[in-house]
Amino acid sequence: MKRTYIADLKDHVGQEVTIAGWLYNKRSSGKVRFVLVRDGTGICQATAFKPELDPAIFDLCDSLDQETSITVTGVVKAFEKAPGGFELGLKNLAIVGVSKDYPITPKEHGVAFLMENRHLWLRSSRQHAIMRIRHQVIRAVRDFFDDQGFTLIDSPILTANACEGTSTLFETEYFGEKAYLSQSGQLYNEAAAMAFGKVYCFGPTFRAEKSKTRRHLTEFWMVEPEVAFMDLEEDMDLAEAFIEFVVQRVLSRCAPELKVIERDVTKLANVKRPFPRLRYSDAMTFLAEKKAEFAKSDDEELRKLSADILKNGPGDDLGAADETAIGMSHDRPVMVHRYPAAVKAFYMKNDPADPNFALCVDVIAPEGVGEIIGGGQREEDLSVLEGKIAQHGLSGDAFKWYNDLRRYGSVPHSGFGMGIERMVGWVTGAHHVRETIPFPRMMEKIWP
RNA sequence: UCCCGGAUAGCUCAGUCGGUAGAGCAGCUGGCUGUUAACCAGCGGGCCGGGGGUUCGAGUCCCUCUCCGGGAGCCA
């Protein structure tokens, strides 16, 4: 069947075309029928006038239920008031597959109901727009690294040992031995960087922690660049250039989608280098000031936030309230660097200027999204690394191959990991990351 | 694992002081020649999450279980 996509209607004004899609909605007024069809590329209104049409076809228009798959033939007209700016003067219509009692009506629904119908929810215009933005984010990620000479070296998903030794992993059986679903490709990335210089990996990542917040998924997609001979400062340069590129690319390529989801794009337009860089110790001072400031606020929400700021105490990792306070106080992402070494992973290199702190960075997005990037400079000295592995109570045997990277021509190197869903969540303003992945996997939720 | 909130029609919700169950949308029937989540009139639709208790009487109060949502910790 020769068919025309709704996105291409602008090239067919005055011509008769056939659109193949699904009934999005229909409206009527006396002897007029408006049949709204979506085909994945857009929504188009086909208009039927009773006196000008075969009565059987006109009646067929009335019989259509939401999401019935149909083909519609007619002449394309430019019509400003129609969704998309074009309409079809309906000449013929055929049902491909009926749809009875489609659960998602064009009205409000609750999250639990929509999640149970995720396989159908994806047809809704808001979800459709978010997935198209996700696609462009992923394209931008690949283009950014590809254009800068990075080589894509994907890391394994099945691994024999826990990478960082701390997180809860999904365990599976591998020919009689225990195996785990990867929680990061980083260790393998380091090996790849010693072979290719500049590398990145991009794939699914798994975390079995019983986390239940709008920022968490048990299965999410992470992109991780790793570069040999790169230090922390250059790592931060890379991270901010990367974020700027991705955000600006979405702004330039996804204007229609951003409009559908009613995203305030002025906030994204601000996302230009340089981003503020804040030492952990300075972040502590900043947070103490914010805590005092918010405590005196008239806004009850801010007073509540104030109570939770610096809850973790000095020397600890930042809490959720701390990230929120930092994020909301800036109009672009903030890079917090040099956290206390004690709270960071074993592979982080200590700051030679003060070994109590690690050469690491977290990028905190504005608008309450929280951390979108975590990274840093890796420890390249074999004996120091072995000491850290022992200190963290990890098995030396498990890291034999990893230590080889320090044994054979070790070099300073750095990298970071960015969660695609959090990035998409920030760019789209989605309330929960579950809307930014087609089929979210969450605590006790693996269906559909 | 912990803290908070919730469960009433297919969906989203209301339900006063404890007194026999309501609306909008969806569905069905009809009306309207330009609709924009169209509108107007009419009709059908209920194990009030499960169990127990208090009471003459429980959707409503108490206990408990189940499920769902939000958050904390942890993280991207």
Mean local confidence (pLDDT), A125-131: 92
Mean local confidence (pLDDT), A101-121: 85
Q: Which nucleotide is nearest to A47 (CA to C1')?
A: B34
The mean pLDDT value of chain A amounts to: 91
Q: Is the pLDDT of residue A166 over 70?
A: no
Give residue-wise pLDDT tens across range A62-99. 888 899 999 999 999 999 888 889 999 999 999 999 88
Instruction: Answer with the residue of higher pLDDT: A144 or A104.
Output: A144
Whole-number pLDDT of residue A171: 85
Q: What is the CATH number of the domain that holds A71?
A: 2.40.50.140
Residue A347 lies inside a defined structural domain of this protein: yes
Q: Which domain holds residue A182?
A: 119-276+330-435
Q: What percent of chain A has pLDDT over 70?
A: 99
Q: How many domains does chain A have?
A: 2
Residue reference for tokens 């390529």: A253
State the burial class of residue A137 (Cβ atoms within 10 Å of its Cβ: 0-12, 13-18, 19+).
buried
Interatomic separation, CA of residue A105 and C1' of nucleotide B46, rounded (Å): 21
The answer to whether residues A261 and A409 belong to one domain is: yes
| Residue where one domain finishes, among candidates A97, A130, A145 | A97
| Range with lowest mean pLDDT among A157-166, A257-266, A421-430 | A157-166
The answer to whether residues A245 and A334 belong to one domain is: yes
Residue A442 lies inside a defined structural domain of this protein: no
Q: How many angstroms separate the CA atoms of A438 and A39, rounded?
A: 18
The answer to whether residues A90 and A127 belong to one domain is: no
Whole-number pLDDT of residue A208: 86
Give, as ranges, the nucleotides of chain B with any atom within 7 Å of a protein CB. Answer: 1-2, 10-13, 24-28, 31-39, 68-76
Q: Is the pLDDT of residue A168 over 90?
A: no
Whole-number pLDDT of residue A21: 94
Whole-number pLDDT of residue A162: 57
Q: How confident is the model at residue A167 (pLDDT cuts 50, 70, 90)?
A: low
The answer to whether residues A156 and A271 belong to one domain is: yes
Q: How confident is the model at residue A30 (pLDDT cuts 50, 70, 90)?
A: confident
Amino acid at A253: R
Q: Which nucleotide is nearest to A82 (CA to C1')?
A: B36
- Contacts for A156-164: CB closer than 8 Å, 24+ residues apart: A156/A182, A156/A185, A156/A188, A157/A181, A157/A182, A157/A203, A157/A204, A157/A206, A158/A182, A160/A398, A161/A395, A161/A398, A161/A399, A163/A187, A164/A345, A164/A346, A164/A347
Q: Is the pLDDT of residue A341 over 80?
A: yes
Interatomic separation, CA of residue A89 and C1' of nucleotide B33, rounded (Å): 14
Q: How confident is the model at residue A39 (pLDDT cuts 50, 70, 90)?
A: very high
Cis peptide upstream of residue A412 (ω within 30 degrees of 0): no
Give residue-wise pLDDT tens across range A365-377. 988 788 999 999 9
Interatomic separation, CA of residue A119 and C1' of nucleotide B11, rounded (Å): 17
Q: What percent of chain A has pLDDT over 90?
A: 60
| Range with lowest mean pLDDT among A213-217, A252-256, A349-353 | A213-217
Whole-number pLDDT of residue A163: 52
Q: Is the pLDDT of residue A165 over 70?
A: no
The answer to whether residues A153 and A221 belong to one domain is: yes
Residue A410 lies inside a defined structural domain of this protein: yes
Interatomic separation, CA of residue A30 and C1' of nucleotide B42, rounded (Å): 18
C-alpha A135: how far from its chain's center?
10
